[in-house]
């Protein structure tokens, strides 16, 4: 599966678990880490865990290796590394504090994932 299809798949998985403020950053020109960062948030720890668990389950159903999942137990910032797509699932309060969109502000404009039912552009 190519990175664009993968980011659409995980964006839909986040949306299915009612993740909020889903943003996809095109990192291809600015990072060797991944092609895309997906950033979203949940309103509480249980929701952050549910979103993260769904990402893991959807990836495994598609035979996509979950290279790393960090922060699941605390559920304040869960990183799900799927190789070319890195997902950051934040608790709402932590997302405001870390503000990854600003940190990676030099990356190309935010892209819209076709899998999400509402716009995720700035």
pLDDT, tens digit, 9 for 90 and up, residues 46-100? 999 999 999 999 999 999 999 999 999 999 999 999 999 999 999 999 988 888 7
Cα(50)–Cα(83) distance, rounded to whole angstroms?
21
33 and 86 Cβ atoms separated by less than 8 Å:
yes
> What pLDDT is attached to residue 115?
53
pLDDT, tens digit, 9 for 90 and up, residues 86-113? 999 999 999 888 887 776 666 554 555 5
Mean pLDDT of the chain: 86
Sheet with 85-91: strands ordered across: 20-26, 36-42, 85-91, 77-81, 68-70
> What pLDDT is attached to residue 109?
47
pLDDT, tens digit, 9 for 90 and up, residues 20-34? 988 888 888 887 889
63 backbone φψ class: left, alpha, beta (φ>0; ψ -120 to 50): left
Q: Per-residue confidence at 118, pLDDT binned at 50, 70, 90? A: very low
Cα(52)–Cα(35) distance, rounded to whole angstroms?
19
């Amino acid at each position: 599966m190519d990175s664009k299809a993968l980011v659409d798949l995980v964006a839909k998985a986040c949306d299915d678990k009612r993740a909020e403020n889903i943003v996809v950053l095109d990192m291809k020109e600015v990072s060797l880490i991944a092609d895309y960062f997906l950033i979203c948030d949940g309103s509480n720890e249980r929701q952050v865990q549910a979103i993260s668990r769904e990402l893991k389950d959807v990836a495994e159903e598609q035979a996509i290796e979950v290279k790393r999942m960090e922060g699941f137990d605390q559920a304040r910032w869960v990183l799900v590394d799927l190789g070319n797509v890195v997902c950051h699932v934040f608790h709402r309060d932590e997302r405001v504090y870390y503000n990854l969109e600003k940190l990676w502000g030099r990356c190309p404009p935010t892209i819209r994932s076709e899998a999400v039912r509402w716009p995720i552009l700035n």
